[in-house]
């Protein structure tokens, strides 16, 4: 059980990291109103970071499987008190969306407990409000945010460049593929892995595996990422021919192809029959979760999220990567909000975040972007 002293030290280390990132990003939110979530774990530090950067904050929460609203609020108040008790006067807590004056918000973060951000909410936002997506634009989910309503109301939605040099996430993303092996108690130094996925995050995982000398076979949509031991999804049945596999790491975030399941590239029963001692480590990807549960194959984590949602997220690598990524989102919001308050157009506003290096536009541009229908 964590002692009171250990908890305080842990919190102070996290606050020290927050202040370090504020300095790195020159994050300044003075005279801006930010809405973000009242959540648990590393996500509790997003409103704290906004406060320490000078913002007035609205922290919206609700009860979830990750924690109760009142517990999260109490924890957040304790963190703020350790940082600077005077900041408690600059934050409004609520679990009732209807109580929020949306027309006073400058930066509307696309945070978990705030979503979905509906047309009804967007229609009430102040004309200069901006929405930082809080991650890269290719990860956008239509169910989270009505982007058409944002376009109609001239509310810019801007992604975060996760490879912005001072806060580059390349190593962090690659570490997903290593940490999940440790979590499954796989002997990383001498293991044999099957990596499944293309683009992000699979490419970064593969790069790190190669640097570490991890023996892995790679399946991707094209199978063209490297010359040897790399196959397309159309050859997933080849998994049955492989020998001495310790773990499968699924990391497919963009291609909706059903990788494994009754109607997939291979069934989990086939995988289990060929590799009964192996583990399935699921970071992200389209699989038949029910087929996995019934196959007998060991898998981790226990709850497999639907395609498009990460099952194994950044929080598994500790608090710092999550805190940093969310603070980068706040920086995107800062740049954009200040531009809009100066009277800049959406195009100029987005361009300013791109010129800084931390912003990321949608493919084809925000105003022209049309969500893909599932």
**In this structure, what CATH number is given to the domain that contains residue 114?**
3.40.50.720
* 330 shares a domain with 287: no
Residue at 227 is within a domain: yes
**What is the end-to-end Cα distance of the chain in Å, rounded?**
45
Q: Are 197 and 236 part of one and the same domain?
A: yes
Written as six digits, the tokens of 342 are 């100066």
Q: Are residues 180 and 58 in the same domain?
A: no
324 shares a domain with 307: no
Q: Do 62 and 201 fall within a single domain?
A: no
Domain membership flag for residue 373: no
Residues 337 and 323 in one domain: yes
Q: Are residues 312 and 322 in the same domain?
A: no
Note whether 354 and 242 are same-domain residues. no
User: Is the same domain home to 183 and 144?
Assistant: no
Predicted TM-score of the model (pTM): 0.90
Task: Give the count of domains, the chain.
Answer: 2
Domain that holds residue 176: 170-316
Asked, for residue 146, whether it belongs to a domain, the answer is: yes
Q: What is the pLDDT along the chain (374 residues), one digit of tens a residue?
A: 567 999 999 999 999 999 999 999 999 999 999 999 999 999 999 999 999 999 999 999 999 988 999 999 999 999 999 999 999 999 999 999 999 999 999 999 999 999 999 999 999 999 999 999 999 999 999 999 999 999 999 999 999 999 999 999 999 999 999 999 999 999 999 999 999 999 999 999 999 999 999 999 999 999 999 999 999 999 999 999 999 999 999 999 999 999 999 999 999 999 999 999 999 999 999 999 999 999 999 999 999 999 989 999 999 999 999 999 999 999 999 999 999 999 999 999 999 999 999 999 999 999 999 987 65
Residue 126 confidence (pLDDT) = 97
Residue 158: beta bridge partners?
132
Q: How many CB atoms lie within 10 A of CB 269?
A: 17
Do 101 and 214 belong together in one domain? no
Whether 114 and 238 map to the same domain: the answer is no
């Amino acid at each position: 059980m964590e002692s009171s002293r250990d908890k305080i030290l842990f919190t102070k280390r996290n606050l020290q990291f927050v202040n370090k990132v504020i300095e790195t990003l020159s994050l300044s939110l003075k005279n801006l109103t930010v809405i973000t979530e009242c959540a648990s774990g590393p996500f509790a530090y997003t409103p704290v970071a906004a406060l320490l950067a000078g913002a007035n904050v609205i922290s919206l929460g609700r009860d979830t499987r990750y924690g109760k609203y009142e517990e999260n609020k109490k924890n957040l108040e304790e963190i703020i008190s350790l940082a600077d008790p005077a900041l408690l006067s600059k934050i409004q807590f609520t679990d009732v969306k209807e109580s929020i004056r949306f027309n006073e918000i400058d930066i509307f973060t696309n945070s978990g407990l705030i979503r979905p951000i509906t047309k009804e909410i967007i229609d009430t936002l102040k004309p200069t409000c901006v929405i930082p997506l809080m991650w890269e634009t290719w990860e956008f989910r239509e169910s989270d945010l009505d982007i058409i309503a944002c376009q109609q109301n001239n509310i810019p939605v801007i992604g975060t460049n996760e490879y912005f040099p001072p806060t580059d996430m390349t190593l962090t993303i690659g570490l997903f593929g290593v940490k999940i092996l440790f979590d499954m108690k796989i002997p990383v130094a001498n293991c044999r892995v099957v990596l499944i996925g293309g683009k992000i995050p699979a490419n970064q995982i593969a790069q790190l595996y190669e640097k570490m000398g991890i023996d892995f076979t790679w399946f991707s949509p094209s199978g063209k990422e490297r010359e040897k031991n790399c196959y397309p999804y159309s050859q997933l049945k080849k998994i049955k021919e492989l020998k001495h596999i310790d773990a499968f790491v699924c990391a497919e975030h963009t291609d909706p192809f059903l990788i494994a399941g009754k109607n997939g590239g291979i069934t989990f029963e086939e995988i289990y029959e060929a590799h009964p001692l192996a583990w399935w480590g699921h970071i992200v990807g389209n699989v038949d979760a029910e087929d996995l549960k019934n196959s007998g194959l060991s898998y981790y984590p226990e709850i497999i999220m639907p395609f498009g949602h990460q099952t194994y997220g950044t929080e598994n690598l500790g608090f710092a990567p999550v805190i940093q990524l969310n603070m980068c989102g706040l920086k995107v919001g800062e740049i954009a909000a200040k531009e809009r308050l100066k009277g800049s157009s959406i195009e100029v506003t987005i361009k300013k975040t791109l010129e800084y290096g931390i912003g990321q536009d949608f493919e084809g541009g925000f105003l022209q972007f049309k969500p893909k229908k599932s």
